[in-house]
Chain A
Amino acid sequence: MRTHSRTSRRLAGLVAVVALGAGPVAGCAEDPAEPSGSAAYDGGTSGGGGGGTTLTVGVFGAFGLKEAGLYDEYMKLNKDVVVRQTSIERNENYYPQLLTHLGSGSGLADIQAVEVNNIAEITATQADKLMDLGRTEGVRKDSFLPWKWSQATTPGGKTVGLGTDIGPQGICYRRDLFAKAGLPTDRTAVGKLWAGDWRKYLAAGKRYKARAPRGTVFVDSAAGVMAAITGGHEKRFYDADGKVVYKTNPAVRGAWDTAAEFARTGLTGRLQQFTPAWDQGFANATFATVSCPAWMLGYIQDKAGEAGRGKWDVAAAPRPSNWGGSFLTVPETGRNKAAAARLAAWLTAPEQQAKLFEKRGSFPSARAAYDLPAVSGARHAYFGNAPMGRIFADAAQGVPVQIVGPKDLVIAQNLADIGMLQVDQKGRSSRQGWDAAVKAIDNALDR
C-alpha cells in the first residue's frame, strides 16, 4: 500500500522498468502464513477441488499485499481460489487506465486498488460501476477509522472501497548527523524538540544548520514539509461543500509559508521527492530528516541501504498528520464479483492489515488492528528498534477527519512540483512560486 499520494505516481516508473525486482522484493517469502488471524474466514468451504476461481488484483507501485504473503495465505485457506496480481508502477499511469477500463467496462481486474487522492473522484463519478462493499459479509464498518470509511462512501450510503492502509507521519532522522550537529539523538527527546508546532521543527532546523556536518542539510525538500503540514488539517483544498478553497485557506497558506521559509533559509536539500536524485540523497546521507508516513520506512530502508542501518531513527512529528493510503474496490463487471468482494473483505480485515503492517510497514486503517500485538508492539529493527507501532498509532488517532476532494491530487501536485519546487530549487520568491502554482492549478481545473 505504499500509497504515497505523490509517491505512487512518481515512484520512479523508469526505475522500475529497469530495476524490476532489484528493489524491495527481498525478504518476505520465508514466513509461513500463520492461520491465526483468519478465524472469521474458515477457508475449507469448498474443499480442494479442481477448477477453481482465478481472482485478479490490480494495484500500483509495490502495494505490499503480495509481498506480505497475503495472497498465498488466502489461497492456502481457499484451495479453490487462485489470486493473481497485476501491477503498474506509477499511479499516474495506473489511474487513467483504471478510468478508461471502467468507462469501457472491460480490461478490469476483479479487485482494483484506488489511491486516497483519487478516491473522492472515484466515489463521485464511478460509484455505479463499483460494488457496494459495505454489504459484503464479514465487513464491519466499526472496525475502520470513521474518516477512512466515509471517504469511499457516497452520499447515498454506498461504500465503493474498503480502506487498506493510511499514512500517519513521523519524522525520520539520522541519529549520527544529529549528534554531530549537537542535537539530541534520543527519539523521545527529538520528538520533544518540536512537539506541537511545525515552527519548532523549523527552529530545530536552524540549530542544525549552525553546526551542520559538512555537505548535509536539515531536510530533503520544502515540498515534503508542506505536504506534511497540510496533511494535519481537516480542511485542505476543498471545503465541506465541495468548493475549491486552497487559495484562501489559512491552513494551506500557513503550510506554504513555513515550507518556503525552510527553502529561504537554506535548510533543504533542494530535492524533488521520488526522483533518482532524492534516492541518491538517502544513499549518500545528505539530509538529516524527512517527514515519513509509515509506508515510507521501507522505502528509506531500500534506498539508504545497509550503510544506514542503525543510523536512521523515527520520532513523533510536530503534529499528527496523514499522507497517503489506499482502498480496494470491486468493479461490477467482474465475472467473480462475490468471490472478489470476499477476498477484498478478507484483505482489509484488521488481522490482515496488521500483518501488512508487520511485513511492509503500511499502517492499518482498521482501528481494531491497533490493539493487536502485531501493531501495538511493532518495532523497526532498521530504525534503531523504534517502537513504530506506538508512534504511528498515536499519530493516526490524532489525525482529523480530512475532507478529500476530487482534484486533490492535481492541486497537491502543482503546489509541490510547480510552486514550492520553484521556491526551493530556482530560488524564486514565495510570492512568485505561489502565483505560478495557482496559475497551473487554474489551468488544470478548467475543463
Chain B
Amino acid sequence: MAGVAGDATTAAPSGWQEGAAALPGAGYGDGEDRRREDRRRKDRDREDRARERRGRWHRWDTRWSPYAFVAPFFLFFAVFGLFPLLYTGWASLHRVELTSPDDMEWVGLHNFSRLLTDSFFWNALRNTVTIGLLSTVPQLLIALGVAHLLNHRLRGSTFFRVAVLTPYATSVAAATLVFVLLFGRDHGMINWGLGLAGLGAVDWQNGTWTSQLAVSTIVVWRWTGYNALIYLAAMRAVPDELYESAELDGASRLQQFRHVTLPSLRPTILFTCVVSTIGATQLFGEPLLFSGGAGATGGSDHQFQTLGLYLYEQGWVNLHLGRASAIAWAMFLILLIIGAVNRLITRRLRRSS
C-alpha cells in the first residue's frame, strides 16, 4: 500500500512539469527534443524503479503474509498449548503441591516410575480402554448407518440433519444429569422399563460393566450425530456416476453401500477413528458427572474412573500437581503411540489399495 501511494505522488508532479515545460518550449529544435527525450528516459527509469519496488513488495507479501495470517494461532498455541505442555513435563519431574506451586522439589522420573506400580493408574487405563471401545465402535457404526440414511433423498432432510447434531450441541453436564436420572437404581426410567418387561432392576452405577456401559451410552448419544455429519459430507463427495453405474449393474442399496460408499469413505473413517480415539483417551466429563456429583473417584470401586478422572483426582482433589503432571504426560505418550499405530495402519491400507 505504502509503495503504491508513493508512486502516485511522484507521478503527479512529473506530469505537471512536463506540461509546464512543453508550453514555452514548443518547436525550438533539437536541444529541446533531446531534453524531452532525456526527461522521458528519466521518467521511464523512475517507473521501472517503482515497478521494481512494487515487485519486491509483492514478493515479500506473498512470502510472509501466510506466516502473518497463521501467526495468531501459533502465538496462542505457544501460550496455551506448548508452554503448558512443557511446563507440565517440567512439573512432572518434581514433587509439587497445589498449596504452594512455586515450591518444587526435583525427583527425576520418580513420578513416572511409580505409575508403573500404581494399581489405580492401571485400573484407570484399563477403564479408559474399555469405555473407549464400548463407545467408539458403536458410535462410528451407528454414525455410518445414520449418514447413509440421511444421504438418501428425504423429506425434511435439513431437519433430520440438524436433529442428529443436537446431542452434540447439548452441554455435557446437562446431558449427563439426565442420564444419571435415567440410569438411577431406585427411581430411574431404564430400571422402570426393565421392571415393566419383567426383568430385575440393575444397579447401573455400581457394577463394573453396567457403569461403563452407561457412561459409554452418554458418549455414543453425544457424538454419533457429529460423526454422522462428517460421513455425510464425505458421502456427498462420492461421484454420482459410481452409484449410477452400480445401479445399472443391478447393485442393491446395501451392495452400493458396501462396494461404493465404504471404499470411498475410507480416509474419512480413518479420520473419525483417530479423532474418536483421542476423545476417548481424554474422556472426563461424562464419568465425572455420572457419579452424580459425588467426586472424581469414578464409583466406590473406581469402576469407571478414567485416566482423565484420575489425573483430576490427583491434581485437584489430592492437590499433587507433580503426580498429576506425570499422568498427563503418560496420557500424551499413549496418544503418540496410538498416532504411530494409526499411521502404520494407514500406510498399509494405502499400499494394499
A residues touching B (Cβ–Cβ < 8 Å)?
Answer: 9-15, 17-18, 90, 92-93, 96, 99-100, 103, 121, 125-126, 269-270, 272, 274-277, 280-281, 284, 286, 410, 413-414, 417-418, 421-422, 425-426, 436, 440, 443-445, 447
Task: Kindly state whether residue B316 has any CB partner on chain A within 8 Å.
Answer: yes
| Nearest CB of A to B207, in Å | 9
Residue of B nearest to A418 (CB): B300
Contacts of B313 in A (CB 8 A): 444
| Nearest CB of A to B117, in Å | 11
Task: Kindly state whether residue B301 has any CB partner on chain A within 8 Å.
Answer: yes
State A277–B293 Cα separation when bound (angstroms). 11
Tell me if B300 and A426 are in contact (CB < 8 A).
yes
Tell me if B292 and A12 are in contact (CB < 8 A).
yes
Tell me if B300 and A275 are in contact (CB < 8 A).
no
Tell me if A18 and B317 are in contact (CB < 8 A).
no
Contacts A12-B292, A425-B206, A443-B118 hold; do A125 and B99 have CB atoms under 8 A apart? yes
Tell me if B294 and A274 are in contact (CB < 8 A).
yes
Task: Kindly state whether residue B176 has any CB partner on chain A within 8 Å.
Answer: yes
9 closest residue pairs by CB, A with B: A275-B292, A421-B300, A12-B293, A125-B99, A96-B316, A444-B318, A17-B173, A14-B177, A422-B300
Tell me if B293 and A15 are in contact (CB < 8 A).
yes
B residues touching A (Cβ–Cβ < 8 Å)?
Answer: 95, 97-102, 118, 120, 171, 173-174, 176-177, 180-181, 184-187, 203, 206, 289, 291-297, 300-302, 313, 315-320, 322-323
| Nearest CB of A to B148, in Å | 35
State A405–B9 Cα separation when bound (angstroms). 79
Contacts of B315 in A (CB 8 A): 96
Tell me if A410 and B297 are in contact (CB < 8 A).
no
Tell me if B320 and A447 are in contact (CB < 8 A).
yes
Residue of B nearest to A275 (CB): B292
B301 touches which one: A10, A90, A284, A426 (CB < 8 A)?
A: A426
State A215–B294 Cα separation when bound (angstroms). 25
13 more A-B residue pairs beyond the given contacts A18-B177, A103-B102, A426-B206, with a C-beta to C-beta distance below 8 A: A14-B176, A14-B292, A15-B177, A17-B171, A17-B173, A269-B186, A272-B292, A277-B187, A277-B292, A425-B206, A425-B300, A444-B318, A447-B95
Contacts of B95 in A (CB 8 A): 447
Tell me if A96 and B292 are in contact (CB < 8 A).
no
Residue of B nearest to A283 (CB): B187
| Nearest CB of A to B193, in Å | 17
Tell me if B173 and A18 are in contact (CB < 8 A).
yes
| Nearest CB of A to B184, in Å | 5
Residue of A nearest to B291 (CB): A275
Which of B118, B177, B292 has the most C-beta atoms of chain A within 10 angstroms of its own C-beta?
B292
Number of A-B contacts (CB under 8 A): 120
A272 touches which one: B98, B181, B294 (CB < 8 A)?
A: B294
Contacts of A281 in B (CB 8 A): 186
State A121–B317 Cα separation when bound (angstroms). 13
Contacts of B185 in A (CB 8 A): 270, 277
Contacts of B317 in A (CB 8 A): 92, 96, 410, 413, 444
Tell me if B294 and A410 are in contact (CB < 8 A).
no
Tell me if A17 and B295 are in contact (CB < 8 A).
no
Tell me if B289 and A103 are in contact (CB < 8 A).
no
State A11–B100 Cα separation when bound (angstroms). 27
B295 touches which one: A99, A125, A417 (CB < 8 A)?
A: A417
Tell me if B300 and A417 are in contact (CB < 8 A).
yes
Contacts of A443 in B (CB 8 A): 118, 120
Tell me if B206 and A275 are in contact (CB < 8 A).
no
Contacts of A425 in B (CB 8 A): 203, 206, 300
Tell me if A284 and B187 are in contact (CB < 8 A).
yes
Contacts A14-B289, A121-B99 hold; do A280 and B319 have CB atoms under 8 A apart? no
Residue of B nearest to A436 (CB): B301
Tell me if B294 and A447 are in contact (CB < 8 A).
no
Tell me if B301 and A99 are in contact (CB < 8 A).
no
Contacts of B118 in A (CB 8 A): 443
Residue of B nearest to A281 (CB): B186
Contacts A92-B317, A125-B99, A447-B320 hold; do A17 and B174 have CB atoms under 8 A apart? yes
Residue of B nearest to A272 (CB): B294
Tell me if B180 and A276 are in contact (CB < 8 A).
yes
| Nearest CB of B to A428, in Å | 9
State A426–B203 Cα separation when bound (angstroms). 9
A-B contacts, 14 listed (Cβ < 8 Å) = A10-B294, A15-B177, A96-B316, A126-B99, A275-B293, A277-B186, A284-B187, A418-B300, A418-B301, A421-B300, A425-B206, A436-B301, A443-B120, A445-B318
State A126–B102 Cα separation when bound (angstroms). 13
Tell me if B173 and A92 are in contact (CB < 8 A).
no
Tell me if B293 and A413 are in contact (CB < 8 A).
no
Residue of A nearest to B100 (CB): A125
Contacts of B319 in A (CB 8 A): 96, 99
State A14–B290 Cα separation when bound (angstroms). 10
Contacts of B180 in A (CB 8 A): 14, 275-276
Tell me if B100 and A92 are in contact (CB < 8 A).
no
| Nearest CB of B to A185, in Å | 26
A417 touches which one: B102, B206, B294, B320 (CB < 8 A)?
A: B294
Contacts of B206 in A (CB 8 A): 425-426
| Nearest CB of A to B327, in Å | 12
Which of A11, A14, A275 has the most C-beta atoms of chain B within 10 angstroms of its own C-beta?
A14
